[in-house]
């Protein structure tokens, strides 16, 4: 049970996903990128693993903070280990981030599951073994036949419904797209999708994240006419009062915060201030599975749903362990990419979806990732 080692490996894998200057993903030519895998090992030889960008588990962070908290401790004491790391953030000169807390917490949950031969959601307390997915479309682009026009979105939405999705979220056009942002174009894309899929598919938007209050209001009013289920991150989430103002002035549910710092503590303030109608959390956004569960349970106490941000095994395990979350966010999707091809460092998809749009939680232990360790060793860079 005692943790004896915490290590990071960095390896290369191939992908066609590229990040733009705002960090949003778009398709491009196949290239190699670096990925990190954190491994926590105990005295009896059991291991837990979690993936994250290499900088999140760089030597300085592991040496100065993570190893000092974990080594010699009982790996089952996840709550205390998480609290100890979270308390060290204040005095870490901003070097110990929520993303590092997340990868450590996820590796500890994976370790617990692999040690006991159980999936994480069963350790938490399972609620379901499959969950409806919404297709989360990439931000718009200027690629011919990609997501360059409202009709492109409409055509792609038709293919997603044919694949089985019963919900679709549009990330619309944002800079560095040359003419973005544009509320009218956002609404044209949303109208094209509603026209293409009909009234029975749930639709949501995740818009340009820095609209003014009046632009966000105009967008929301337009979406109400298209019967969208929620409006997400149309303004800077650091202005909670702007979201309270928007929620007061719109009928369409406002969801958030996704990217605002402050973990479950700040999300409690969003609830009590009336800044959102649906809460939002994400394993990477709040520092792990442990605080993501705290956020979901907080929302439940207020009679609210809380939607979980992002795909990947760790978010699926959390969604499978709660009732007050309608969807699993499956993406990001684009006409030029085949999401079901997965990654070359995993032997199987962590979020397989059936023809009815249900994602089935893998019955594998821990986070449920079928890791290709040969690929990792054969492509190591550190
Ligand atoms: O901002 C991004 O990187 C993407 O939009 C990403 O966070 C996306 O997954 C999202 O916002 N989902 O809600
Ligand atoms: Mg979002």
Q: How much is the pLDDT for 100?
A: 98
Ligand 1 atom with the smallest distance to the CA of 280 is 13
Residue 79: count other Cβ atoms within 10 Å of its Cβ: 11
Q: Which residues lie with the beta carbon below 6 Å from any ligand 1 atom?
A: 23-24, 136, 171, 206, 258, 309-310, 332
Q: What is the dihedral of CA 332, 296, 319, 75, to 10 degrees?
A: 110
| pTM of the predicted model as reported, rounded to 2 decimal places | 0.98
Residue with tokens 């800044």: 275
Closest residue by Cα to residue 216 from 178, 173, 191, 245: 245
CA 309 to ligand 1: nearest atom: 13
In the chain the domains, ranked by start, together with CATH numbers, are 2-117+373-379 (3.30.390.10), 123-360 (3.20.20.120)
Dihedrals φ, ψ of 143, to 5°?
Answer: -95, 125
CA of 46 to the centre of ligand 2 (A): 35
Nearest CA to ligand 1 atom 11: 206
216: tokens are 């966000």
Handedness of CA 42, 45, 46, 48 (dihedral sign): positive
**163-190 pLDDT, tens digit each:** 999 999 999 999 999 999 999 999 999 9
17-48 pLDDT, tens digit per residue, is 999 999 999 999 999 999 999 999 999 999 99
Any alpha helices (H) in the chain, and if so which ranges? 59-61, 67-70, 78-89, 98-116, 120-124, 150-163, 183-197, 213-225, 240-249, 263-272, 283-286, 289-301, 313-319, 373-378
| Predicted-complex ipTM score | 0.94
The answer to whether the CB of 258 falls within 8 A of the CB of 282 is yes
- Residue of the nearest CA to atom 8 in ligand 1? 310
Query: Which residue has the CA at smallest separation from atom 13 of ligand 1?
Result: 309
What's the CA gap between 241 and 36, in Å, rounded? 38
Identify which of 23, 102, 136, 204 to mutate to test ligand 1's pocket (most ligand atoms within 8 A of the CB).
Answer: 136
pLDDT at site 282: 98
Between CA 350 and CA 348 the distance in angstroms is 6
pLDDT at position 382 is 85
Which pLDDT belongs to residue 180?
Answer: 98
Residue with CA closest to ligand 1 atom 3 = 24
CA distance 285 to 269: 16
Q: 205 C-alpha vs ligand 1 centroid, how far in Å?
A: 11
**Taking CA 188 as the corner, what is the angle to CA 182 and CA 192, rounded to the nearest 5 degrees?**
150
> According to the model, what pLDDT value does residue 205 have?
99
Kindly give the parts of the chain with pLDDT less than 50: none
Distance CA 253, CA 267 (A): 16
Q: Whose CA is nearest to atom 4 of ligand 1?
A: 24
What is the distance of C-alpha 349 from the center of its chain?
16
């Amino acid at each position: 049970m005692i943790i004896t080692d915490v290590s990071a490996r960095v390896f290369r894998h191939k992908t066609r996903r590229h990040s733009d200057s705002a960090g949003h993903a778009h398709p491009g030519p196949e290239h190699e990128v670096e990925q990190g895998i954190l491994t926590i090992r105990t005295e009896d030889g059991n291991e837990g693993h979690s993936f994250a960008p290499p900088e999140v588990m760089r030597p300085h962070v592991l040496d100065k903070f993570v190893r000092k908290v974990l080594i010699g401790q009982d790996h089952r004491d996840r709550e205390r280990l998480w609290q100890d790391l979270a308390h060290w953030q204040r005095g870490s000169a901003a070097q110990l981030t929520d993303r590092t807390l997340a990868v450590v917490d996820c590796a500890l949950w994976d370790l617990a599951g692999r040690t006991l031969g159980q999936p994480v959601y069963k350790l938490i307390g399972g609620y379901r073994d499959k969950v409806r997915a919404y297709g989360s479309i990439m931000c718009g682009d200027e690629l011919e036949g990609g997501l360059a026009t409202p009709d492109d979105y409409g055509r792609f939405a038709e293919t997603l419904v044919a694949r089985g999705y019963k919900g679709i979220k549009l990330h619309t056009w944002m800079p560095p797209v040359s003419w973005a942002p544009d509320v009218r174009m956002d609404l044209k894309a949303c109208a094209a999708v509603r026209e293409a899929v009909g009234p029975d598919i749930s639709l949501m938007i995740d818009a340009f994240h820095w609209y003014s209050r009046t632009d966000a209001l105009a967008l929301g009013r337009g979406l109400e006419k298209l019967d969208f289920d929620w409006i997400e991150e149309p303004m800077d989430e650091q202005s909670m009062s702007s979201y309270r103002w928007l929620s007061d002035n719109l009928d369409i549910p406002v969801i958030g915060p996704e990217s605002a710092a402050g973990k479950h503590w700040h999300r409690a303030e969003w609830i009590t201030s009336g800044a959102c109608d649906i809460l939002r959390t994400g394993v990477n956004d709040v520092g792990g599975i442990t605080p993501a569960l705290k956020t979901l349970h907080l929302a439940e106490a207020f009679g609210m749903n809380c939607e979980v941000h992002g795909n990947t095994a760790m978010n699926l395990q959390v969604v499978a362990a709660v009732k007050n979350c309608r969807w699993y966010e499956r993406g990001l999707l684009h006409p030029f990419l085949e999401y079901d091809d997965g990654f070359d460092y995993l032997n199987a998809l962590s979020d397989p979806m059936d023809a009815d749009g249900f994602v089935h939680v893998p019955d594998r232990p821990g986070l449920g990732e079928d890791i290709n360790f040969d690929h990792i060793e054969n492509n190591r860079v550190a």
